Structure formats: C-alpha cells, structure tokens
Amino acid sequence: MKDLIFSLIGLTAGVLFILALKGLSHPKTARRGNLLGALGATVAIILVFFELEKIENLGWIIGSIAFGLAVGVPAARKVQMTNMPQLVALFNGVGGGAAALVAIVEYLKHSEDMTVAFLIFTVFTVIVGCVSFSGSIVTFLKLQELMTTRPVVFPGGRFVIAATLASVLGVSVWVVQDTGTNPLLILAGLSLLFGILFVLPVGGADVPIVISLLNAFTGLTVAASGYVLDSTLLIIAGTLVGASGTILTRLMAEAMGRSLFGTLFGAFTAKPQAAAAADEERPVKSGSPEDVAILLNYARRVVIVPGFGLAVAQAQHTVREMADLLISKGIDVAYGIHPVAGRMPGHMNVLLAEANVPYEQLAEMDEVNPTFGQTDVAIVIGANDVVNPAAETTPGCPIYGMPILKVSDSANIIFLKRSMRPGFAGIENELLYDPKTTLLFGDAKASLTKVVSALKGL
C-alpha cells in the first residue's frame, strides 16, 4: 500500500514535468510551466526522503543540499542577463557530472553482482555524463570568453578525436567484462577528454546548439541512471528531457540554417582555417553621434538591429529611450530580431522585454527582411555575424548558410561597435566597408546616450 502511494506520487511528479515542458512551449504559459516543473522536482525530492533506508547519512545529505542551495540560488539570482547562456551551460554540466557520479557510486557498490544490462547502462551514464560535464565546461569558458571563441582545430585533430572515441568504446567493453574499479576510472577520464575534444572545434553561433545537445545528453544519462536505481520517475524525467532536448536542438539548428549532423560531427569534419587576411588597412567611414542623430532624425523608417554588444553594454533602456524619441518625431521604428542574435536564441527578446519595449515593435527576421528596402536607416547595435553578408556570399566560411538580416538593402546603415574586431564567429564583415555604412565606435550605451542627447537638441 505504501509502495503504491509512493509510486502514484512519483507519477504525479512525472506528469508535472510533462505539463512543465508543454507550458514552456507557449509564451503565455511559460512561466507557469516553469513553476510546475519546480513543483514536480520538489515533490520528487520530498518523496525520496520517505524512502530512505538508513538514517546515519541524513546529516550529510541535508548538509550537501543546503550547500548546493547556497551556491545555486545566488548564482541564478545575481547573474546578469548577458551571462545567462554560460550559466545555463554550467548548470547543465554539473547535472551531467552528478549523473556520472551517481553511476560511479552505484558501480563501486554493486559491480560484482550487476547484470550485463545494468553494467551497460552504468557505463553509458558515466560516458555521457562525463562528456556532458567537460563539454559544458568548455562551452562555458567559450561564452565567458575565458578562451578563444573561435573553433579550435589542430592538425590531425579528427584522428585524435576518433582515437579517443575508439578507446572509450574499448574501455567500455573492458569495464563490462572486468567489473573492476580501475577500468571505470580510466573510462571516466577518457570520456572527460572526449567531451573537451568534441566541443573545442565548435565555434561562434554553433555554441548554443551544442549546449542544447549536451542538455539532451544529460537527460538521457538521468534516464539511464533511473534504470540502474530502479526509479520510474528518473526514467520519465530523463527521457522527456532527452527527447525534447533533441527536438529543440534540431529546431535551433534549423533556425540558424545549420544541419544538425554538421554541428554534431563538426569535430570530425572541421578543417584548419586559413588565418584571415590580417593587417589590411581599408578605409571605413566613422561618424560622430551628431551625424548619427541627423541621419535618424530625417529618416521615415528606422530598423534597430540589436546584438550581443547591446547586452554587454546593458544598453537596452537607452535604446528604448532613443526609439521612443524617434517615434515621438513620427518616425516608423521597428526592432529587427535575428533568432540567434546575442549568445542564445531569444536572448534579445528577453533583454528588450526587460526594458519594456512593446512586443509589437519586435519583428522577427522573416517579417523584417522584406521591409529593409523601404528602410532609410538600419542601426546595428553591437551585432555583427547576424548581418554579415558573408553568410550568403562566401561558401566555406563558418556562418555560410545562416539566414541573416538583410540590412544591406536599406538606404543607410549605422554600426555601433566597440572596435573593428570581428564578431563571435571571427569573420570579417564586408558591410563595414560599404560606402553607405557609418560607424560609431564606443560602448553601445555611451554612444546611444550621446545620440539621444544629440537627437533632443535637433
């Protein structure tokens, strides 16, 4: 009877997770969906305390949860919107690491009397959990710009990766046959290495796709550990995340015009790139904030294209002030939102929503692209790759095939940039040298503030 009640409560948590994912798929219900997910997790965690068999480790368990809370909550609360993507990557990584640790402990305890099926699932959890952990750490370092954001490819890299993968598989067989501790530790080490090698060749706009993929991986490890620990709830929750994460990864890849296969196996197909022709001095037209204000003041239609630079400078309120000012002068203003502007899909929507930009002013790429022909000024704020025509004209460049915002169709283009440094993907942008382009160098917020005061003076 007690078991039945526990099973039913566990099932409730599983249903809450389904409702959570369902809710998160629609803007109106998204927040409620997330809260349902949190409720499901809370129910599951409270439930497990009633199922504990020993009491002596309870202090350790509660203490560790308290410690995790003390680390996780402030990190999630205090992180700036700009740094959100890498925090998600980090959370995903620690989840994968936790799943791998759970499997390792279970193995240490029971490897002698585990069936082959159990051993296979344990091995799977250790491999994928470790890959997810180390891979997520690398994406974190990339997004935090603690290491180069460009694809890291070294000669013979694909052979090293293939060899690592082959050894992972070989050692897996060894673990299943030998059931000793050392083979498993070697397996964990090799899997960590493979995770690093897997993510290193991924660069620029593909990083969010990889985070999503690793997220799906972690889901599958959770499902596998659910099998090992005989927990239906973990199987349901993990499989849900694995399946929805896979679909989400595919949707994200499609939104960016990438093939999922290409991203997945980028590690095996990436070729070392010729260094971009550096030190080439080409004339660019840079303007003052007053020049920009005048261009804007006499426009009939202005499209604002925000990018990561806007997020870095926290300029979302200033950009809204500028837009409101232009609207009050009778100018038609829209924001052109590229699906992957910033560091993650939807990054810009979140940022502009924070500044209370009316939803109807935000135009998605497909809506705004046909209107650039009638646009007098496109003002690109801290974006680069998402407007780079190289995506259409240069086969073989890392962003080739990604749909872009066609700002080049508008009569004038203004770039607000910190420097001539190329964007996240590390590709030169020809548009910067276009005669109808005006560059305004500096921090986006500082520049926009100057433009706003110049506009007020006109």
Partner 1 sequence: MDAIAVISIFVLAVFVGFEVVSKVSSTLHTPLMSGANAIHGVILVGAIIVADAANTNLELGLSVAAIILSTINVVGGFVVTDRMLEMFKPKKGGEQK
Looking up tokens 């809204």 gives 320
Q: Which of 5, 7, 50, 67 binds partner 1 (CB under 8 A)?
A: 67
> Nearest distance from residue 95's CB to partner 1, in Å?
4
Distance, CA of 246 to CA of 252 (rounded, Å): 10
Of 157, 404, 150, residue with least CA distance to 275: 150
State yes or no: residue 307 binds partner 1 (CB under 8 A): no
Phi-psi region of 248 (alpha: psi -120 to 50; beta: other; left: phi over 0): alpha
State yes or no: residue 69 binds partner 1 (CB under 8 A): yes
Asked whether the beta carbons of 23 and 30 are under 8 A apart, the reply is yes
Residues of this chain, 341-380, that bind partner 1 according to CB under 8 A: 344-347, 349-350, 353-354, 356, 358-360, 364
State yes or no: residue 60 binds partner 1 (CB under 8 A): yes
Distance, CA of 413 to CA of 266 (rounded, Å): 34
Per DSSP, the residues of 227-256 read HHTT-HHHHHHHHHHHHHHHHHHHHHHHHT
Would you say 78 or 421 has its CB closer to partner 1?
78
Stretch that binds partner 1, among 36-44, 143-151, 159-167, 328-336 (CB under 8 A): 36-44
State yes or no: residue 252 binds partner 1 (CB under 8 A): yes
H or E element in which residue 398 lies: none
> Nearest distance from residue 215's CB to partner 1, in Å?
5
Would you say 77 or 421 has its CB closer to partner 1?
77
Stretch that binds partner 1, among 162-170, 242-250, 298-306, 368-376 (CB under 8 A): 242-250
State yes or no: residue 99 binds partner 1 (CB under 8 A): yes
Q: Which two tokens stand for residue 11?
A: 């099932």
Residue 381: HSE in the Cβ half-sphere, 13 Å Cα cutoff: 31
x/- mask, partner 1, residues 183-222, rule CB under 8 A, reads: -------------------------x--xx--x--xx-xx
Q: Which of 9, 41, 312, 327 binds partner 1 (CB under 8 A)?
A: 41
**DSSP 8-state assignment for residue 144:** T
Enumerate helices (H) and strands (E) in the chain, giving the number of each: 18, 6
x/- mask, partner 1, residues 113-152, rule CB under 8 A, reads: ----x-----------------------------------
Q: Which residues are catalytic?
A: 385
